[in-house]
Amino acid sequence: MAAIISLGPYFLVLLLAVAWVLAEIVQTFHGDVSRALKSRWTALFIGLNIAFALLAYLTVRLLAPASTDPWLLALVAGAGWQALLRTRINLLQPMTSGEEGAVSLSLADLYNRFQQFCRSQIDQTLAGERIRLLEQATRFPPDALAQQVRLFAHASVLRSPEEVETYMAKLQDKPLQQQSLLLASYLLREGGYDLFRERLRVMEKNAR
């Protein structure tokens, strides 16, 4: 019990860091959150955020008077650190006009670069998986995929089945490979990665 109470503030800092990063990931990859969360780059992003948040908390705890409530410190350090990461702070501002010569603590720039790096790596992973799934789908003839597209079209509120039929008629002039690719892309975008992968599995099973 004593251990839980003493470790509690650390968990609070950890929770704050995870919540903050998760909010950013959900906002960025809202179309593919579950796969984005499974990426090792997301793990690195969350892990480093937690590590630095805990480091900030430890620093504050060492500097603060011993009588300070550790829960309050955890709350201030946990939330404050996340805010600090996303803010540009000028430590010294010369008495001349303009920002030249200002000594800034630009954690925001560093954080932004790290965030962009992780985002581009996650993008690479997600896009790579989607490209592989499309390649897999183009092994099927357009007719088989068209059948799935019709099913999806009837379930969609965004496009009427007539619109989709007109589109499929327009594709008839295209080479078979391109027809399959576009139909597969429609299914992937409309149904999402997981549903489309599952449909492909069923189609493969039926084809055997």
Partner 1 sequence: MRETSKAPERPLTEAAQVLSRIAEELSRVSTRLAAQAEDNSPEAELLGESQKTLTALSEKLGQWETREGDTAAKQTAQLRHRILQDLLRRGPALPIELAAATLSLPEEIQPVLQDLAREELIEIREVRGGHLVALTVRGRQEASR
CB-based contact 115:45 (threshold 8 Å): yes
At its nearest, how many Å lie between partner 1 and the CB of residue 41?
A: 13
At its nearest, how many Å lie between partner 1 and the CB of residue 45?
A: 17
Instruction: List beta partners, residue 89.
Output: 105
Phi, psi angle pair for 89, to nearest 5°: -115, 130
At its nearest, how many Å lie between partner 1 and the CB of residue 161?
A: 12
DSSP letters of 31-80?
Answer: TSHHHHHHSHHHHHHHHHHHHHHHHHHHHHHHHS-TTS-HHHHHHHHHHH
At its nearest, how many Å lie between partner 1 and the CB of residue 28?
A: 8
Q: 3-class DSSP state for residue 105? A: strand
Binding site for partner 1 (CB under 8 A): 28-32, 120, 123-124, 126-128, 130-131, 134, 159, 163-164, 166-167, 170-171, 174, 181-183, 185-186, 188-190
Give the distance from CA 170 to its chain's centroid. Answer: 35
Between residues 69 and 109, which has the closer beta carbon with respect to partner 1? Answer: 109
Q: 3-class DSSP state for residue 90? A: strand
Between residues 18 and 134, which has the closer beta carbon with respect to partner 1? Answer: 134
Between residues 16 and 171, which has the closer beta carbon with respect to partner 1? Answer: 171
Between residues 41 and 52, which has the closer beta carbon with respect to partner 1? Answer: 41
